Amino acid sequence: MESEPKDVMVLGAIKGGAKKFDKIKNKTKIDPKEIHQVLERLENRGLIRVETKKGLFGPKVEMSVTEKGEKEMQERIHELEGNWNQMNTLLKSGDKQKLQQYMDDNKSILPTMFFFGIIDMMMFSTMFGFLGSQMTNYMPADQIPEGTDGGGDSGGGDAGGGDMGDSGFDIDIGF
């Protein structure tokens, strides 16, 4: 799963209780065709178990994470946390080029970091303000969590990344 962040998201969704296809789709916001491919990969690798059960309106398919899948998911989450810590270190060092390069090299893992709640939104918004870029430069718009505006601070104003709407903080510090 080294190069498959969506595999980790689907595995996490199943572990989190989304045992049916529709729930996985709603939780991950991944295209249904891709989910089918991911589920096949996960099942082939022994990371999930697919069971067909009898239901009131016919058979129903449910998925569950295997012990091997649980271990794999925990390893990937640990790696993602390490990536996030590295991004924070680069931000704090003030090295704009290194942070930009690191984020460019790791674009594919950002939605997964959001999915697992690894990213601190205030710090992430600060990163975009520091880089003068927007979240949509790094993530597909449909993968950006609700409550964020997807923008960055390109004009040196609010370090929180722009208008936070009703879901953020608006702090006036008197400047």
Q: State which of 68, 89, 112 marks the end of a domain.
A: 68
133 lies in some domain: yes
Cβ-contact 51, 61 below 8 angstroms: yes
In a domain, 169, yes or no: no
Contact 61, 20 (CB under 8 A): yes
Looking at the chain, the whole-number percentage of residues with pLDDT higher than 90 is 41
For residue 169, the model assigns a pLDDT of: 45
Residue 109 belongs to domain spanning: 76-161
- Nearest CA among 122, 123, 120 for reference residue 169: 122
pLDDT in tens, 110-168: 888 888 889 877 888 888 788 877 666 666 666 666 655 444 433 333 333 344 444 44
CB of 151 within 8 A of CB of 165? no
Domain shared by 153 and 107, yes or no: yes
Q: Write down the pLDDT at residue 107.
A: 84
CATH classification of the domain holding 53 = 1.10.10.10
Same domain for 80 and 31? no
Give the model confidence (pLDDT) of 65-75 as tens digits. 999 999 999 99
Looking at residue 126, its pLDDT comes to 83
Q: Can you give the pTM of this predicted structure?
A: 0.69
Query: Is there a single domain that holds both residue 37 and residue 109?
Result: no
Indicate whether 167 belongs to any domain. no
Q: Give the total number of structural domains in the chain.
A: 2
Residue 167 pLDDT: 43
Q: Domain for residue 170, yes or no?
A: no
